[in-house]
Amino acid sequence: MTHLHYRVWDGEEMHYWDDEGISLTIEGSNWFVHHERIGYIASSEEVGAALMWGTGEKDDYGKMIYPGDVVEYEEPSFTANGTEYLQRWCVIFLSVGGRHNVPTRFRRNLKVIRNAYENPDLPDDLLEAADNAL
């Protein structure tokens, strides 16, 4: 699988593949991110740093979805009165083999609302799900 979209959490800030001046270098199992003006940003050897590859899916607003993102969406519920849409949330993760849990069928209004790295104030159940998934 070829990944063109990545982001890196340096412990304080998220850096994206399309940020001006950013570059990612991978050597064996190690990686580091560099900015052409700032210099070194983060590496795989730092505690708390994380490299994430995009899932290949975008939300309904065109934003790439990454592991650790919290998405909200509406899911149909068929009742005697017709179809109702229920608000749902989930934390995105990649499993072994690169499969993701992005809801792609029978849903509407999929939107990335936050991520587990930049939002430590997430409800405990979502943070626990994110920690288990990442």
**Domains contained in the chain, CATH given:** 1-53 (2.10.70.50), 57-134 (no CATH)
- What span, in angstroms and rounded, lies between the C-alpha atoms of 4 and 17? 8
Q: In which band, very low, low, confident or very high, does the pLDDT at 25 lie, cut at 50, 70 and 90? A: very high
Side-chain-facing half-sphere of 118: CA atoms under 13 Å: 14
Q: What's the alpha-carbon Rg for the chain, to the nearest Å?
A: 17
| Phi, psi torsion values for 64, nearest 5 degrees | -60, 140
115 pLDDT exceeds 60? yes
pLDDT of residue 102: 83
pLDDT tens digits along 34-86: 999 999 999 999 999 999 998 888 999 999 999 889 999 998 888 888 888 88
**CB-based contact 71:58 (threshold 8 Å):** no
Q: What proportions of the chain, in percent to the nearest 5, are helix, strand and coil?
A: 5, 45, 45
HSE-up of residue 30 (Cα within 13 Å, Cβ side): 6
- List phi, psi (to 5°) of 117: -80, -50
Query: Residue range 92-120: average pLDDT?
Result: 82
